[in-house]
Amino acid sequence: MILTTDPIIGEQEAQRIFDFTGDEQVIHLINSLSAKARAFMQRDRLTQSLTTTIVEKLRGPSMPMLFLHAPVYDTDFSTYDLTVKVYSSAVLSDTYSANDSEVVVTTNDYSSRVDLVGGCFPETDGASWLEVEYYGGWSVVPGDVYAGAIMQGRVDLKRLNGEVGLVDHSHKGNSVEADQAGVIQEVADVWRKYRMLV
């Protein structure tokens, strides 16, 4: 089993917090928690990677702004650029660059937005789209997101061991265990404010 390249919690931390001795179980838990966090918060990346760009394919109406699914790493764009490519009928028709001041980026832990200077991005349809390429993710996972991952991990381990979860009893006396694999309410309340705008 391979550890995700975008972990919400480190392997050694998880071994210490969840009292694991085997690597495979801790890797499985980290991968599961990271996938749940990305899905719930609608993020393409949680942690920064300066070796792999994020490429978002976006569609929508004619607007001067686009909302991204990860914080942008380099907002002065001295080293890492952000580009918006316009594809019309599946052919590259235009490119806007933050480095050339054609787009302006506003980003923080909660949301990220790209504004086109002096205009609107074109309306897109099935054969047209916008492609945003950038480096992004949190340099450090926010403390409450991290705490939520620990809470969720403890519940997931109890679910795995059958210690918690909903069991329904039919009128014939059969027990049926309902799927309780989602994000628990307490964690959802913490993570909700980090959900990226679509």
Looking at residue 198, what is its pLDDT? 65
Note whether 99 and 58 are within 8 A (CB).
Answer: no
151/175: higher pLDDT: 151
pLDDT over threshold 60, residue 22: yes
- Looking at the DSSP bridge assignments, the partners of residue 58 are 130
Q: Quick one: pLDDT at residue 120? A: 95
Q: Is the dihedral of CA 4, 164, 178, 41 positive or negative?
A: negative
pLDDT 10s digits, 161-196 = 777 665 555 666 665 554 456 899 999 999 999 998
Q: What's residue 171's pLDDT?
A: 62
| Contact of 33 with 149, CB cutoff 8 Å | yes
Structure tokens given for 76: 């002065």
Q: Quick check: pTM over 0.75?
A: yes
Tell whether the model's pLDDT for residue 99 goes beyond 80.
Answer: yes
Q: What local confidence, expressed as pLDDT, does residue 125 receive?
A: 86
- Report how far residue 59's alpha carbon sits from residue 41's, in angstroms, rounded to the nearest whole number: 19
- When pLDDT is averaged across residues 104-126 and rounded to a whole number, the result is 93
